[in-house]
Amino acid sequence: MKIGILGAGQLGRMLALAGYPLGFEFTFLDPATEACAAPLGEHLHAGYLDEAALQEFCGGIDLATYEFENVPQRTAELVAARVPLLPGPQALTAGQDRLGEKQLFVDLGIPVPRFAAVDSRAGLETAAARTGLPAVLKTRRMGYDGKGQYVLRSVADFDAAWAQLGNQPLILEAFVPFEREVSCLAVRARDGAVRFYPLVENVHRSGILRTARPRAADPLQALGEDYARRVLQRLDYVGVLAFEFFVHGGGLLANEIAPRVHNSGHWSIEGAECSQFENHLRAIAGLPLGSTALRGESVMVNFIGQAPALESVAALEGVHVHLYGKEPKPQRKIGHATVTAPDAATLERRLAALQVLLVEEC
């Protein structure tokens, strides 16, 4: 089976790495000159709205998927008219606009932080009256890794926030003093079968994910699964979906969904029976889903901006390195490592040994 992937970044690369053992082949479409999945398949180096390139892309594949949620709607329509596009275009629509996403959660009875749309400078005052302060002003579209966000602590911050973000549709959200951040990674097959990975505890700094650790028997597992299942069913979803939550007051508040494999699921390559990447491919290819059970303790650590020397990190027991072949740049995810261990105490020791080698940026 030949699978087309819109986007050829590290998620496309890891999808391909998971797909080759199953006998799949891959074609990527990505305008980037530095497309790190390109060595793993055919790479059509073209824009997402280049209709001739999209025709060529679709002509050589059995089905298509994507590795980023900002695929233009027109691209999704053009692809979906020719080959199955999974998850479907409705999943992209749901994940692209933070306001629509929040409204979807509200419709489904999933709790969210207080929020309000902001379309003008005056609207910012009205929205803040609804959310209270502190609050986070975010672009409705295209934000990632904390980009396009401004934390408002008092009215004195409004002008600066507006100067930075005010030329586009925005949303204001109450700042949640969360106890933890967790994500629920779910996968739904073409026949509607659903599996969930254990909830993952995520640590962000400056809006960027630093570590992700699956927790066996998290007390919020059933609630996370319930909320994720509602979204999967509403969107008639096929593939892996990541649902990020704030843990607050012992319950879950929905932050956002990503209609794709996700950074908080990378540990599953070594830490689960079947990784998020393989399960995404199984789901879209119409195969039975693989087990989401843990294979022991694990934690993923992102390499941001710089990776530790390979000779040093490769010498550590239970540390599995993934370098994406990307040029190091400040704030850029250029790889990760998953630390595995048979028990929690050994995991902590191995993680500490890795952290000594990390060159940390803020």
- Residues between 132 and 151 with contacts to ligand AMP, criterion CB under 6 A: 136, 143, 146
- Binding mask 60-89 vs ligand AMP (x if CB under 6 A, - otherwise)? ------------------------------
If one asks whether residue 268 binds ligand AMP (CB under 6 A), the answer comes out as: no
* Shorter beta-carbon distance to ligand AMP: residue 176 or 187: 176
Work out the angle at residue 191's Cα, subtended by the Cα atoms of residues 26 and 20, and round it to the nearest 5 degrees. Answer: 20
CA of residue 182 relative to chain centroid, distance: 12
Q: Minimum distance from CB of 205 to ligand AMP (Å)?
A: 8
Residues in contact with ligand AMP, counted by CB under 6 A, come to a total of 13
CA distances from 63 to 86, 258, 274 (A): 8, 20, 21
Q: How far apart are CA 192 and CA 62, in angstroms?
A: 21
* Shorter beta-carbon distance to ligand AMP: residue 4 or 113: 113
CA distances from 146 to 5, 136, 139 (A): 25, 11, 10
Q: Indicate the DSSP class of residue 287.
A: P
Q: Minimum distance from CB of 242 to ligand AMP (Å)?
A: 11
Sheet with 25-29: strands ordered across: 42-44, 25-29, 2-6, 63-66
Length of the chain: 362
* Shorter beta-carbon distance to ligand AMP: residue 24 or 175: 175
Residue type, 344: A
Three-state secondary structure call for residue 171: strand
If one asks whether residue 173 binds ligand AMP (CB under 6 A), the answer comes out as: yes
Are 228 and 186 a contacting pair, CB within 8 Å?
Answer: yes
Tokens of 2: 């030949």
Q: How far apart are CA 314 and CA 195, in angstroms?
A: 33
* Shorter beta-carbon distance to ligand AMP: residue 27 or 149: 149
Q: Which stretch binds ligand AMP (CB under 6 A): 33-41, 175-183, 184-192, 300-308?
A: 175-183
If one asks whether residue 100 binds ligand AMP (CB under 6 A), the answer comes out as: no
Q: Cα-flanking dihedrals φ and ψ of residue 198, to 5°?
A: -55, 145
If one asks whether residue 95 binds ligand AMP (CB under 6 A), the answer comes out as: no
If one asks whether residue 181 binds ligand AMP (CB under 6 A), the answer comes out as: yes
Q: Which stretch binds ligand AMP (CB under 6 A): 15-23, 174-182, 232-240, 323-331?
A: 174-182
Which of 75, 255, 264, 279 binds ligand AMP (CB under 6 A)? It is 255
* Shorter beta-carbon distance to ligand AMP: residue 19 or 95: 95
- Considering only CA atoms, which of 28, 38, 18, 55 is closest in space to residue 239? 18
Paired sense of beta strands 319-323 and 333-341, if any: antiparallel
Q: Minimum distance from CB of 12 to ligand AMP (Å)?
A: 21
Q: Which stretch binds ligand AMP (CB under 6 A): 119-127, 152-160, 168-176, 234-242?
A: 168-176
Q: Which stretch binds ligand AMP (CB under 6 A): 120-128, 169-177, 225-233, 350-358?
A: 169-177
Q: Indicate the DSSP class of residue 38.
A: G
Which of 175, 210, 234, 305 binds ligand AMP (CB under 6 A)? It is 175
Q: How far apart are CA 62 and CA 294, in angstroms?
A: 32
- Residues between 271 and 290 with contacts to ligand AMP, criterion CB under 6 A: none
Three-state secondary structure call for residue 99: helix
* Shorter beta-carbon distance to ligand AMP: residue 3 or 253: 253
Residues in touch with ligand AMP (CB under 6 A): 113, 136, 143, 146, 173, 175-176, 181, 204, 207, 244, 255-256
